[in-house]
Amino acid sequence: MSMTVTTDALSAEERDAILQAVREFASTRLAPNALDWDRRKHFPRDVLVEAGELGLGGIYISEDVGGSGLSRQDAAAIFEALAMGDPTIAAYVSIHNMVAWMIDTNGTDAQRREWLPRLVTMRDLGAYCLTEPGAGSDAAAITTSAIPDGDEYVLTGVKQFISGAGEASVYVVMARTDPSTGSGNGGAKGITAFLVPADAPGLSFGPNEQKMGWNAQPTRQVILDEVRVPASAILGELGGGFRIAMKGLNGGRVNIAACSLGGAQWALDRAVRYVHERFTFGEALSERQSVVFTLADMATELTAARALVRDAARAIDEGAPDVAVQCAMAKRFATDAGFEVANRALQLHGGYGYLQEYGIEKVVRDLRVHQILEGTNEIMRVIIGRGVVEA
């Protein structure tokens, strides 16, 4: 079924039907293949196209360009359901949706018509290029330059840790258009977003990074060597790129938090099943109070995290003034809780949890990076702390 709806809000029945379709997709197309894709470092383009057919390539993208037009609250539930099949693929779908949202929200009509009908199908993919080798948490310190030359801009620089690099059709690249700015000198004001097509001369990619997890999606450097794009490739306003980046990351943080919930819930479900099946010293592990207490804590932390994610998604939908703080809280708490729950699930499995065939260790590896990307959890504390102090 397609997820596109024509009403302003979903009924409970419509929402349940959509989530059931996503769960079925996750359980039949992602989960049975997740370990193999991880082992082979295989990026399943064909399965992503199937996801696009379901409406997952434009979950909260406008319907006039083929998007599903759903709310961020619906999207969070969808990403959680997807991640129960494979956190790696769910996370990439979330990044792809963030790129599409940036174009949908900030693009001209021509940009939206050029890219979004292709992106929502997931036959064409998107990538987001902010981080650089020397600029991660201090995003305003990027040095990639965009120098005007007639009616074109010449982009030069290197982007680091880019999901989908080498596979995407369009790259949202943050570059410095005001060379007088830099870190500590109003650097955020001098950054502009550009749409760079994959076939642009001078665009190349580094080797696929050898990572702890997320092996089923490519992560490479994006190298811009005097890449020329027309002025019409500017996304939003000149000098407005940092605002686009930060607003995009609010949603990205909620999305990745939801992916942590899904992966951790899967691990918890497996742990519950295992402690019923595993007997030691004459009784099931589920009869031991210490095990029951561990499961109780795991379930409580996920329920609390889910509430924070739900509230942050609602804050985005409603344009709440403290949206950045709520998204940071959800991301910090849910990704920490998700990793800890998955790690405890591995411990409850004992030696079997350490074996690849059980799948638990993969989820642990995949969820670990969620505490780093879309802004490290230390940076989330900075955002939250500033919000508390300035309230």
CATH classification of the domain holding 324? 1.20.140.10
d(CA 211, CA 152): 37
Q: Please report whether residue 372 resides in a domain.
A: yes
d(CA 209, CA 194): 25
Do 136 and 120 lie in one domain? The reply is: no
Do 86 and 50 lie in one domain? The reply is: yes
Can you spell out the DSSP letters for 275-303? HHH-EETTEEGGG-HHHHHHHHHHHHHHH
Catalytic residue among 50, 374, 378, 390, which?
374
Q: Please report whether residue 28 resides in a domain.
A: yes
374 is catalytic: yes
CATH classification of the domain holding 27? 1.10.540.10
Do 217 and 307 lie in one domain? The reply is: no
Do 248 and 369 lie in one domain? The reply is: yes
Q: How far is CA 235 from the centre of its chain?
A: 20
Domain boundary among 125, 157, 177: 125
Helix (H) or strand (E) holding 39: helix 34-40
d(CA 166, CA 161): 12
Q: Please report whether residue 6 resides in a domain.
A: no
Count of domains for the chain = 3
3-state secondary structure of 225: strand
Q: Please report whether residue 2 resides in a domain.
A: no
Do 204 and 333 lie in one domain? The reply is: no
Do 338 and 348 lie in one domain? The reply is: yes
Domain boundary among 55, 90, 125: 125
Distances (CA, A) of 302 to 213, 272, 296, 347: 21, 14, 10, 17
Q: Tell me, what's the pLDDT at 7? A: 40
Do 110 and 144 lie in one domain? The reply is: no
Q: Please report whether residue 73 resides in a domain.
A: yes
Do 192 and 229 lie in one domain? The reply is: yes
Domain boundary among 222, 237, 252: 237
Closest of 53, 45, 248 to residue 166, by C-alpha: 45
Do 141 and 45 lie in one domain? The reply is: no
Do 307 and 360 lie in one domain? The reply is: yes
Range of the domain at 317: 243-390
Do 254 and 228 lie in one domain? The reply is: no
Q: How far is CA 295 from the centre of its chain?
A: 27
Amino acid at 116: L
Q: Please report whether residue 303 resides in a domain.
A: yes
| CB-based contacts of 103, cutoff 8 Å, min separation 6 | 111, 112, 115, 116, 119, 126, 170, 172, 195, 235
Q: Are residues 93 and 79 in contact, defined by beta-carbon separation less than 8 angstroms? A: yes
Return averaged pLDDT per consecutive 10 residues of the chain, 391 residues in all. 53 93 98 98 98 98 97 98 98 98 98 98 98 91 96 98 98 92 67 98 98 98 98 97 96 98 98 96 95 98 98 98 98 98 98 97 98 96 96 79
d(CA 136, CA 375): 8
Q: Please report whether residue 5 resides in a domain.
A: no
Do 220 and 249 lie in one domain? The reply is: no
Q: Tell me, what's the pLDDT at 8? A: 55
| CB-based contacts of 179, cutoff 8 Å, min separation 6 | 145, 147, 190
Q: Please report whether residue 252 resides in a domain.
A: yes
